[in-house]
């Protein structure tokens, strides 16, 4: 679900991440009070997807600095966290933002943070950061990096910490612990909530138009206001949940999540996709064991723990 981060929440993320102490296009912006900001935009090839990214740094190009990965909410894109990325870059971090599979300009199928797809994408982004001369390393192929985000982006930060030991800190916000539990508490299907989840950002993730309203009482998800020229129930993420096209051309939700949403019953695969505890490592089984106070630049203090 795409959720705009309030100023206080954004500040909390910045405070937590402050612990952390290629070809492409780039731009530089400077003011009298701030160091020059550089941004590189590039598309990274991943198995089954092309991931749209932006890389932000500022100040001297010679020194190495800690890195931050910023994830966006469901239905959003990397553009939603640009202001936060620019602020962190000016504070001395190397910041990488990306549009998850099926969102923004990225291709591929939406997997609801599937460990085999979106989570592995984050590991590949960490691989990319490890090769950047601007990023501080803790070892060969191991950048000093934290991951932050809210909602969908918060969940990926938990999963990334559980599946990749190179993640040094996380700052997840307003996110779910287990998507299957959220959609099916005690086995009861929360149809309205699921409809809102899948329809929020539908148009934004497919044609850039504003998302439709949430379904009214007695109205099935997708029967509300629709973007011009689109039949009810044919919006991007909501149709993707039912295994239909999403407007991205290649972005229907895959795996058990689509069956769960369509049938109103939980499925093992749906639980695996949306469970931030899922995985093979002890960190994935218990995200509360993720590191909480990695080494930081001299400019910051504070701490964060997984919820």
Query: Within this chain, do residues 114 and 218 fall inside the same structural domain, yes or no?
Result: no
Answer for the pair 264, 148: CB distance below 8 angstroms, yes or no: no
Question: Domain tally for the chain?
Answer: 2
Query: Within this chain, do residues 168 and 21 fall inside the same structural domain, yes or no?
Result: yes
Query: Within this chain, do residues 147 and 253 fall inside the same structural domain, yes or no?
Result: no
Residue (of 304, 299, 305, 296) closest to 21 by Cα position: 296
Query: Within this chain, do residues 19 and 146 fall inside the same structural domain, yes or no?
Result: yes
CA–CA distance, 63 with 11 (Å, rounded to integer): 25
CA–CA distance, 12 with 117 (Å, rounded to integer): 29
Query: Within this chain, do residues 166 and 183 fall inside the same structural domain, yes or no?
Result: no
Q: Is position 173 within any domain?
A: yes
Answer for the pair 54, 40: CB distance below 8 angstroms, yes or no: yes
Q: Is position 59 within any domain?
A: yes
Query: Within this chain, do residues 168 and 23 fall inside the same structural domain, yes or no?
Result: yes
Please provide the size of the chain in residues: 307
Residue entry with tokens 């894109």? 77
Full domain range(s) for residue 160: 7-178+281-286
Q: Is position 101 within any domain?
A: yes
Query: Within this chain, do residues 152 and 57 fall inside the same structural domain, yes or no?
Result: yes
Per-residue tokens: 285: 């089984």
Q: How far is CA 190 from CA 22, 215, 237, 262, 264, in A?
A: 45, 13, 17, 12, 8
CA–CA distance, 9 with 215 (Å, rounded to integer): 28
Q: How far is CA 156 from CA 170, 195, 221, 247, in A?
A: 10, 21, 25, 23
In the three-class reduction of DSSP (H, G, I as helix; E, B as strand; rest coil), residue 150 is classed as strand
Q: Is position 140 within any domain?
A: yes
Q: Is position 198 within any domain?
A: yes
Q: Is position 19 within any domain?
A: yes
Contacts of 7 (CB under 8 A, 6+ apart): none
For residue 99, the surrounding DSSP H or E stretch is: none
Tens digits of pLDDT across the chain (307 residues)? 454 545 555 554 544 544 454 334 445 555 556 678 999 999 999 999 999 999 999 988 788 999 999 999 999 999 999 999 999 999 999 999 999 999 999 999 999 999 999 999 999 999 999 999 999 999 999 999 999 999 999 999 999 999 999 999 999 999 988 888 888 888 888 888 787 777 664 444 444 433 333 334 444 433 444 333 333 333 333 333 333 333 344 545 544 454 555 555 555 555 555 565 543 344 554 544 554 433 333 333 233 323 2
Query: Within this chain, do residues 16 and 143 fall inside the same structural domain, yes or no?
Result: yes
């Amino acid at each position: 679900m795409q959720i705009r981060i309030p100023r206080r929440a954004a500040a909390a993320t910045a405070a937590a991440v402050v612990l952390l102490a290629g070809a492409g296009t780039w731009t530089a912006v400077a003011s009298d009070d701030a160091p020059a900001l550089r941004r590189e935009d590039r598309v990274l090839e991943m198995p089954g997807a092309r991931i749209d990214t932006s890389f932000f740094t500022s100040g001297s190009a010679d020194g190495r600095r800690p890195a931050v990965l910023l994830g966006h909410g469901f239905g959003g894109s990397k553009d939603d966290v640009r202001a936060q990325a620019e602020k962190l870059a000016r504070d001395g971090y190397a910041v990488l933002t990306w549009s998850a599979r099926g969102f923004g300009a990225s291709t591929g199928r939406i997997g609801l943070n599937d460990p085999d797809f979106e989570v592995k994408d984050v590991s590949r982004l960490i691989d990319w950061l490890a090769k950047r001369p601007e990023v501080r390393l803790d070892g060969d192929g191991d950048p000093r990096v934290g991951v932050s985000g809210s909602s969908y982006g918060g969940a990926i930060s938990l999963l990334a910490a559980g599946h990749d030991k190179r993640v040094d800190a996380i700052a997840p916000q307003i996110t779910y612990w287990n998507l299957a539990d959220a959609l099916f508490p005690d086995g009861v299907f929360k149809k309205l909530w699921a409809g809102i989840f899948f329809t929020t950002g539908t148009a934004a993730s497919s044609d850039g138009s504003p998302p439709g309203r949430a379904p009214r009482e007695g109205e099935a998800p997708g029967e509300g206001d629709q973007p011009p020229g689109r039949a009810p129930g044919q919006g991007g993420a909501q149709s993707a949940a039912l295994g239909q096209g999403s407007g991205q051309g290649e972005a229907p939700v895959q795996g058990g999540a689509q069956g769960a949403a369509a049938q109103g019953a939980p499925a093992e695969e749906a639980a695996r996709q949306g469970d931030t505890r899922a995985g093979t490592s002890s960190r994935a089984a218990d995200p509360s064991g993720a590191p909480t106070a990695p080494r930081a630049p001299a400019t910051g203090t504070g701490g964060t723990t997984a919820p």
